[in-house]
Amino acid sequence: MKVNDKNTDPTSFKAYKALIIAGDDKADKKAAANLLEKQEKNILARLASSLNEGSEAARKRFAEGSPEYMEHMRITTEARKEADKATVKYDALQVGVQLKLDESATARLAMKLEGELT
């Protein structure tokens, strides 16, 4: 879509640009959250292996209670929350763009029908 086309509605172009930006933001935040989630097992294993005594279950409990793991989980949860919010924003923009397209199609149809009736 060219900005200078005479048939281009500036509000539609703005909505399209906003949708692209929101899509990029959604992808970035989702990727960040996924990366943090994938690191969880490695962090847990590293912390558990740092304790040389006790059963595997005891070492896992130790690791899960460590400040490093708790902080990682807090950051991961916040990243997932931001990714979810970005998804909601993207989906809302997508619905808005679709509504605008439907509205434009309805207006064109109404004009066509008016021309046929007169």
Closest by alpha carbon to 25, among 89, 72, 105?
89
Confidence tier at 4 by pLDDT (50, 70, 90): very low
pLDDT of residue 112: 85
Give the span between the Cα atoms of 65 and 43, in whole angstroms.
12
Give the span between the Cα atoms of 108 and 57, in whole angstroms.
67
Claim: this prediction has a pTM higher than 0.75: no
- Residue 31, both tokens: 């990727």
- Residue 114, both tokens: 């008016």
What DSSP element (H or E) covers 75?
helix 67-117
CB 32 within 8 A of CB 81: no
pLDDT of residue 38: 97
Q: 82-86, 90-94, 110-114 — which is least confidently predicted? A: 110-114
The DSSP code for 54 is: S
